Amino acid sequence: MAQIVNIPLTARPHDTLGRPLHDLRISVMDRCNFRCPYCMPKETFHEHYRFLKTSERLSFEEISRLTRLFVELGVRKVRLTGGEPLLRPNLAELIGELTALEGVQDVALTTNAVLLAQHAAQLKANGLQRITVSLDSLDPDIFRQMSGGFAERERVLEGIQAALDAGLTPIKINAVVQRGLNDHTVLDMVERFRGTPVIVRFIEYMDVGNRNHWSLDRVVPSRELVERIATRWPLHPVEENYRGEVAERYAFDDGAGEIGFISSVTNPFCGACSRARLSSEGVLYTCLFATQGTDLRGPLRSGASDDELRALIATTWQHRGDRYSEQRATLSSKEHALRKIEMYYIGG
């Protein structure tokens, strides 16, 4: 492999569309304690489904080493995802290792929050800065349906409160909205968290993976939700916090906080995407909708040097041309049917 030593800022990799490598999302666990129909439907991910063995997942030491190399190539923000990351034993130890890496400016976690109440304080103590909670509805029956019947809403709310008490603020809630399923509960979600340190973000239902039976008529465009919410609580748009921010921000006119909208279907943001994704078994993916990735675990465990691994990461990014969401409307049915990586495998 090519040797890369002490890469200067001006030489950090950009992809074929000029996008820098800035964010890294790491799946630490391919298992989950939910069975959300749009992600891990229980008819497929049943009790006999073969998940990764412990030895197949990257160890904390391997994750830390690879993350350090990503940081040397320009990554500044790291997010731990799953599956459900809190199913990974001793996760706080990994967070401590990652926050200690020179150059890392932000470490965050995405969770369904069922286990968060028992871990929030330790996560904060080990350096975790932010939490994002996946919560699609406050209606108990709809919540149960959208989580596959594997959890109670109250445990999620207890987890959110524990995160607030620990100082993991502001907390963001991600809610995937599907027409005819939970779109009528959007106002309830807004009302519950308005005026608190919790920012609700509504996500358009996306065609991630191959198992969620996605169809365009189940997508609720963000602009429709903005109009619906603004009728009840007047809103105004807010400038993005940084280039490449995935959510469009709106603040309440009365000063009671803000909400966000992630519009990958109706308003794609591929042009500013700077995110790489690392699966729990060490495969690098350059898009949420990727059909293939680059194996890093193999070379790492075969004795590859830091320079060799860094060169492999940089070359993969430099060849990146992904912009699936921008191309979605023009893709043929055959191209749509390509086997995309599942969301539980690399996080959202």
Using one digit for the tens of pLDDT, what is the confidence trace for 80-125?
A: 999 999 999 999 999 999 999 999 999 999 999 999 999 999 999 9
CB 63 within 8 A of CB 28: yes
Highest mean pLDDT among 2-11, 92-101, 150-159, 237-246: 92-101
Average pLDDT over the chain, rounded to an integer: 88
Which SS3 state, helix, strand or coil, does residue 142 take?
helix
Q: State the Cα angle at 118 between 31 and 256, rounded to 5°.
A: 95
Taking the CA atoms of 174, 147, 63 and 346 in sequence, report the sign of the dihedral they define: negative
Residue 5 confidence (pLDDT) above 60: no
Convert the pLDDT of each residue in 159-196 to its tens digit.
999 999 999 988 999 999 999 999 999 999 999 999 99
pLDDT for res 4:
38
pLDDT for res 1:
39
Q: Tell me the residue type at 66.
A: L
Residue 300 confidence (pLDDT) above 60: yes
C-alpha to C-alpha distance for 306 and 219, rounded to whole angstroms? 44
Convert the pLDDT of each residue in 284-296 to its tens digit.
999 887 889 999 9
Please give the share of the chain, as a percent, with pLDDT higher than 90.
Answer: 68
Residue 244 confidence (pLDDT) above 70: no
Residue listed under structure tokens 């029956």: 141
Q: Tell me the residue type at 134.
A: S
Residue 131 token pair: 């939490």
Residue 231 confidence (pLDDT) above 80: yes
pLDDT for res 101:
97
Give the residue among 348, 243, 332, 333 at the shortest CA–CA distance from 289.
Answer: 348
Q: What is the 3-state secondary structure (H, E, C) of 179-207?
A: CCCCHHHHHHHHHHHCCCCEEEEEEECCC
Omega within 30 of 0 (cis) for the link into 170: yes
Residue 272 confidence (pLDDT) above 60: yes
C-alpha to C-alpha distance for 345 and 335, rounded to whole angstroms? 21
In this structure, the number of other CB atoms found within 10 A of the CB of residue 107 comes to: 25
Residue listed under structure tokens 């602009």: 223
